[in-house]
Amino acid sequence: MNILDSELIQNQLLSSGYEFVDQAEKANIVLYNTCSVRDLSEQKVLSRLGVLKKRKDQGEKLVVGLLGCMAERTNTDILEKNPHIDLLVGPSRLGEIGGLLHNLRGERKIALSDFRTRKGKSLEHEPMDSLEALDAARLTGSKALKSQAYIRITRGCNKFCSFCVVPRTRGPEVHRSFESILNEAKSLVDSGVLEITLLGQTINHYPEFAKLLREIHDQNPGLKRLRFMTSYPRDFTDEALDVMASSERICKYLHIPAQSGSDQILRRMNRGYTREQYLDLIRRARERMPNISIVGDMIVGFPGETEEDFEASLSLIREVRYQNIFVFKYSPRPGTVADKRELDDIPMEIKKLRNNRMLECQNEVSLAEHQKAIGSRLSVLVEGYAKIGSKLQARTQGDQIVLLEGPISLIGQLVEVQITQASALSLTGMLSSGLPPEALA
């Protein structure tokens, strides 16, 4: 979601005549788009703000902006220790950045949401706000886009999991109109986008979600891949699974966080489902799509987590056979129920140990599953160069990373590879049918 927000902000500012540079040191406007899910993320932002303060203290004419969830969560309190911040903009007001910068004349500009003062009022049918306008105004010319793109279909969350700050930073669940999403998808595909990922904190709560998937798929034959994230385990319908299974170009992929494999911890997290209900969804998905890739999130060291609770999470990993999981060490987030009611009683040493043990468990599962792919032929979308080494990095429909040798012209192309090697983190393949015609042009 933050990647999309940053792209849309850049689109907005490019349209207003701003130029972007490749290093913050060369810029006279520096904007940090932030996340508040973990304390570590915020500490990194504070450190970078300190660097900018030194530049301003040395007399440099510099505009400093704090955007996104951290701006919303801290509100104006952050300005007490960071008076060098010129711009403070929350996630729902990002569409106003261009105007705020234009009007910045030595006076700080603050644009934070007022959703916390409108409790009990439905926002679902409000007219298009600045954020919707930001989505709708994205640049879709060939120079502005890559082969992959995100589309936000819903923002905010109504779940109030006890550990999560999202409802307080992104507000209540609000859905974009069906028509605006279809129009944006068509515009992107017409501009050459091959893969679209739909985004939402609880994306399967979008009204008529299954119908939306079907319409985007059927109306855009040039779209090679359609995926979505993140799904909430409860309320995922069989209708949506049926659409996924019957639509060739919808990726057989589910990012569906469990957070814990222990019913006791799930209750305290206020997740709203049990371990068995979560596993039932996985079974229903695999009955329809045996090769579906499941990706999850897990939290270790939640208050009160016993060794038995932790072992239940490890056993869930082995039973689900995740393709990959994202593991987070619990850190209290100010304003959440867990922060108010729970004692953070798991020592950091235990959290680190459990974090490492869980990653080791997942690596064993990932390696075993990846080894099954050796010898198979898979269609992959080449994304760019791998972070390490000289190989290209591509991705399967199920989101597995594949490394391969090939010319730079393959980037942005769908190619077929034969898998030759496997590790816990990635697959290695070789082009199985030569270069596609597009790469030879």
Which pTM does this prediction carry?
A: 0.92
Name the residue ranges covered by the structural domains of the chain.
2-117, 281-370, 377-440
What CATH architecture is 2-117?
Answer: 3-Layer(aba) Sandwich (3.40)
Task: Tell me the β-bridge partners of 66.
Answer: 32, 88
d(CA 16, CA 6): 15
Q: Classify each residue of 404-418 as buried b or exposed e, where b means 16 or more C-beta atoms within 10 Å of its C-beta.
A: bebeeebbbbbbebe
Q: What pLDDT sits at residue 203? A: 97
Q: What percent helix, strand, coil does the chain show, rounded to 5?
A: 40, 20, 40
d(CA 320, CA 327): 15
d(CA 263, CA 256): 17
For domain 377-440, the question of CATH label 2.60.40.10 is answered with: no
Q: What's the chain's average pLDDT?
A: 92
d(CA 118, CA 126): 13
Q: Given CA atoms 196, 202, 206, 209 in this order, what sign does their dihedral have?
A: positive
* Cα–Cα distance list, 114 to 20, 70, 99, 329, 418 (Å): 31, 15, 19, 31, 53
Domains 281-370 and 377-440 share a fold: no
Q: What pLDDT sits at residue 137? A: 75
Task: Tell me the β-bridge partners of 40.
Answer: none
- In this predicted model, what pLDDT tens digit does every residue of 356-382 receive, in sequence order? 999 999 999 999 999 999 999 999 999
CB–CB of 228/213 below 8 Å? yes
Query: Widest CA span of the chain, in angstroms?
Result: 64
Task: Tell me the β-bridge partners of 113.
Answer: none
Long-range pairs, 118-126, Cβ under 8 A, ≥24:
123/171, 123/172, 123/174, 124/173, 124/174, 124/175, 126/174
Q: Which amino acid is present at 308?
A: E
Q: What is the dotted CATH code of the domain comprising 281-370?
A: 3.30.750.200
Strands (E), 35-106: 63-68, 87-89
User: In this structure, what is the dihedral angle of CA atoms 411, 412, 413, 416, given to the nearest 10 degrees?
Assistant: 70
Residues of the chain with pLDDT under 50: 120-128, 142, 144, 437, 440-441
* Cα–Cα distance list, 30 to 23, 46, 95 (Å): 10, 14, 17
Per-position DSSP letters for 197-251, written without gaps between them:
EEE-TTGGGSTTHHHHHHHHHHH-TT--EEEEE---STT--HHHHHHHHH-TTB-
